[in-house]
Structure 1
């Protein structure tokens, strides 16, 4: 699978940076679309909403990657840590990244890191339990 070893949450960070630095003047509160709701109200979808939705979808995919049996979990954890640290540093040090949208993306990166560590930790405990039970099985 080509996604192994590639931190997908780089994508929303890259989209954010491309919008901020290549199209100055675009606000995260600018409407991308408006959806008419059954309640007769309108739901404005902003640039920030779209980027956060992309990040949440990619967080789900990262969770699927973390739960696979094979792969390189240490590499994935290391890359997730780098992505989170880069996002945190950018949020704290770059004026254009000091927005709620970027803060939410950074929080999503932190959740990805914690999720990957928790899932791989549980998988390792599960493997050890199975190995112990197999070693104790009589007559095999």
Structure 2
């Protein structure tokens, strides 16, 4: 049953923790704070803000969600339904919560939508291969 849990809930929870000020201590303005700063061989300074890190985490989670969609099992349909609920939670929060109306949250919401559509598409495609017609 744990495998039916949609992983896209992780970036949603992390963003809400940042929005409440639990991470970084400053609420949504903390999304612009650098969490990684590296000096490159070229001499340039590369930095990654907390918001950018949220997008990277969401993309990694999307990869694992697509991998989960390729397996056949009884929890697959439940996973798709819960993924749809996570996307709806993203959408409702984006529309109704002022601190969620950011580019970072919007991109994470689109990643959740791709998770829903991609999960259904992969499942339908792999289910089509499992059908055998006996003669």
TM-score, normalised by the number of residues in structure 1: 0.87
Number of equivalent positions: 131
- For structure 2, the 5+ residue unaligned runs are none
Larger radius of gyration: 1
Cα-to-partner distance string for 1:8-53 (whole Å, 9 max, x where unaligned): 1101110000011133444311111211122221111100111111
What SS does the corresponding residue of 1:4 show, helix, strand or coil? helix
Cα distance between partner residues in 1 of 2:113 and 2:7: 13
Give the structure 2 partner of residue 115 of structure 1.
Answer: 118
Give the structure 2 partner of residue 4 of structure 1.
Answer: 3
Instruction: Give the alignment of 1:1-140 within 5 angstroms.
Output: 3-22=2-21, 23-25=25-27, 26-128=29-131, 131-132=132-133, 135-136=134-135
Q: Which moved more, 1:13-22 or 1:33-42?
A: 33-42
1:31/1:44 contact within 8 Å kept: yes
Q: Give the drift of 1:3.
A: 4.1
Cα distance between partner residues in 2 of 1:24 and 1:89: 23
Cα distance between partner residues in 1 of 2:41 and 2:109: 33
What SS does the corresponding residue of 1:11 show, helix, strand or coil? helix
Measured on the aligned residues, the alpha-carbon RMSD in Å equals 1.4
Cα distance between partner residues in 2 of 1:48 and 1:61: 20
Cα distance between partner residues in 2 of 1:51 and 1:112: 16
2:18/2:30 contact within 8 Å kept: no
- For structure 1, the 5+ residue unaligned runs are none
Displacement over 6 Å in runs of 4+: none
